[in-house]
Amino acid sequence: MSDRYAQLVRSRPGGMLARRVGLPRPEALERYRAGDPVIRGRVLLGDAPGGELLEALVGALGAARCELATGLDASSPDGDRVRGVVAAAGLDATVFNPEAGGEQRFKGLVFDATGIADSTELVALHAFFHGSVRRVERSGRVIVLGRTQADCESVRQRTAQRALEGFTRSLGKEIGKGATVQLVLVAKGAQQAMDSTLRFLLSPRSAYVSGQVIELSSPATIADDLDGLDWERPLDGRTALVTGASRGIGEAIATALAREGAHVVGLDVPALADELCAVSKRLDGEALELDITAADTPALLAERFAGGLDVVVHNAGVTRDRTLAKMPTERWSELIDINLSSQERVDDALLEAGAIKAGGRIVCVSSMSAVAGNAGQTNYATSKAGVIGRALALAPVLAERGATINAVAPGFIETQMTAAMPIPIREAGRRMSSLSQGGLPIDVAEAIAWFAHPASGAVNGNVVRVCGQNLLGA
């Protein structure tokens, strides 16, 4: 599973060789360790004139204890406006003037672009990022905030706001150094619910997430108990069901949720009982040896969680690759049943029984194949695209209950499955992304922990790829 190429080019001679020949040089990505600050380094904050998120943004970054910097443009009153907001929030912030030279470096760049209402105003992106982008440190974070299309008030505003997507996706491809770039579209009324998303995207938890567009909808209710939220253990006292938890990505998900404080109930087929029990024991959780496709499983789960379930992660899934012409019916049907239909049955049963609590979180694991398509995987991509459909369709239904559903679409993640790939395909999978490397199971798990977060009520009906901005289907 080890990425020998990455190890080679991170050595001095290997790096020199790769640089000469022009080979990709994957950066060693920073990853979250318990107790880490949200972001280790300064965050440069800016906005386009007329932006509406600044106060909320400053509040969220301040609460996350980010060290701030703001641009200083003496010629426009706007530089002072940003500093005025920072000052009013009682925060400190250093000054950045790209024309002044110096050695200033930033771990994060955060830009509120909601004020851009016309294509002519897009130049504000250039003004902010032109002088700052090369000062981004390794594993740096860039976040642009825009408005959801539905909340744009004119054709020109919609045009300009949609344009942001091309900007962030391209910047993600050129920024390098293990840095990531995201666009967060904030609906009107959702600005008070940005905290968990900003923290996730700024932190090393989002190491392998780049080039994504995330929509924050105005949540039906911003849970009242967030005031006393322990950001180190946000899932304390909550119960999470993780299917396919015995190994690989599922095990990482269970581990991450347990780290966040959840009581994790792992589910897997009886054939993997030993592994499942080991995971559950390690996490001080529970094991359910069940076949997710069995007829009585939905009812059993509804009964088991009659007391209320906070988080459901539909991770269990299989591949049964074959080109369609050579694929027998059972290879198709079995996979669709495991990967998609069983999820529908389980959720229906849980929802009917009222087992999903208000503020509950359903997370489905989709795949990059569902977005990009993949030869030999018509069955798999169909099931995983169906998973995305489920997330989109169920989101408004769950929103009424204060609950959410989201899907994560992993790209090339280093697992036993990818280790078994032929070398050329494996290498192509690793390198054909902005980060030039495969992700780790924990990267998928961190994204799921963000979806599952009690403060993520505004994150609903999103499909977020954890793919290092893979070139496929981007």
Any alpha helices (H) in 321-364, and if so which ranges? 329-336, 342-352
The smaller minimum CB distance to another protein, of residues 70 and 210, is found at: 70
Which of residues 82 and 288 has its CB atom nearest to another protein in the complex? Answer: 82
Interface with another protein by CB under 8 A: which range of 98-106, 189-197, 255-263, 461-469? 98-106
DSSP code for 439: B
Q: Is 22 in the site for another protein (CB under 8 A)?
A: no
User: Binding residue for another protein (CB under 8 A) from 22, 35, 90, 228?
Assistant: 90
**What pairing do the DSSP bridges indicate for beta strands 239-243 and 463-466?**
unpaired
Q: Which stretch binds another protein (CB under 8 A): 82-90, 154-162, 215-223, 290-298?
A: 82-90
Output the smallest distance, CB 90 to another protein, in A.
Answer: 7
Cα distances (Å, whole numbers) of residue 200 to 166, 178, 209, 418:
22, 16, 10, 26
345 binds another protein per the rule CB under 8 A: no
Cα–Cα distance for residue pair 13/37, rounded to 1 Å: 34
The reply to whether 43 sits near another protein by the rule CB under 8 A is no
Asked if residue 135 binds another protein (CB under 8 A), the reply is no
Q: Which of 55, 92, 236, 348 binds another protein (CB under 8 A)?
A: 92
Residue 24 DSSP label = -
Interface with another protein (CB under 8 A), residue from 22, 102, 307, 422: 102
Among 9, 53, 93, 408, binds another protein (CB under 8 A): 93
> In whole angstroms, how close is the CB of 83 to another protein at the nearest point?
5
Distance between CA atoms of residues 9 and 19, nearest Å: 9
Q: Quick one: which segment of 92-100, 347-355, 437-445, 462-470 binds another protein (CB under 8 A)?
A: 92-100
Q: Would you call 32 a catalytic residue per the annotation? A: no
- Segment lying near another protein (by CB under 8 A), choices 101-109, 220-228, 380-388, 416-424: 101-109
Residue 72 sits in the site that holds another protein (CB under 8 A): yes
Residue 88 interacts with another protein (CB under 8 A)?
yes
To which H or E segment does residue 427 belong?
helix 423-431
Identify the residue among 4, 99, 326, 329 touching another protein (CB under 8 A): 99
How many binding residues for another protein (CB under 8 A)? Answer: 22
For Cα atoms 430, 432, 436, give the angle at the middle one, nearest 5 degrees.
Answer: 60
The backbone torsions φ and ψ at residue 57, rounded to the nearest 5 degrees and listed phi first, read -65, -45
100 touches another protein by CB under 8 A:
yes
| Least distance from another protein to the Cβ atom of residue 107, Å | 16
Give the span between the Cα atoms of 146 and 164, in whole angstroms.
7
**Alpha carbon distance 363, 383 (integer Å):** 15
Binding status of residue 13 toward another protein by CB under 8 A: no
96 versus 128: smaller Cβ distance to another protein: 96
Which H helix or E strand runs over 372? Answer: helix 368-372
**C-alpha distances in angstroms, 45 versus 71, 111, 132, 145, 374?**
7, 6, 11, 11, 40
The percent helix, strand, coil of the chain (3-state, each to 5) is 45, 20, 35
| Residue of 5, 32, 208, 380 with catalytic role | 380
Contact in structure between 129 and 109 (CB atoms under 8 Å): yes
Q: Which two tokens stand for residue 311?
A: 């988080």
Q: Note whether 418 binds another protein by CB under 8 A.
A: no
Residue from 24, 31, 52, 80 touching another protein (CB under 8 A): that is: 80
Give me 291's structure tokens: 């076949």
| Contact call for residue 96 and another protein (CB under 8 A) | yes
Q: Residue 337 carries which DSSP code? A: I
Among residues 103, 224, 274, 400, the one that binds another protein under rule CB under 8 A: 103
Side-by-side strand order, sheet with 93-96: 93-96, 67-71, 42-47, 106-112, 136-147, 180-186, 212-216
Here's the x/- map for another protein, 201-230, by CB under 8 A: it reads as ------------------------------
Non-local CB neighbours of 188 within 8 Å, separated by 6+ positions: 147, 151, 218
Cβ at position 174, least distance to another protein in Å: 22
Q: Judged by CB under 8 A, which of 70, 246, 378, 469 binds another protein?
A: 70
Stretch that binds another protein, among 19-27, 49-57, 77-85, 165-173 (CB under 8 A): 77-85
Show which residues are catalytic.
Answer: 380
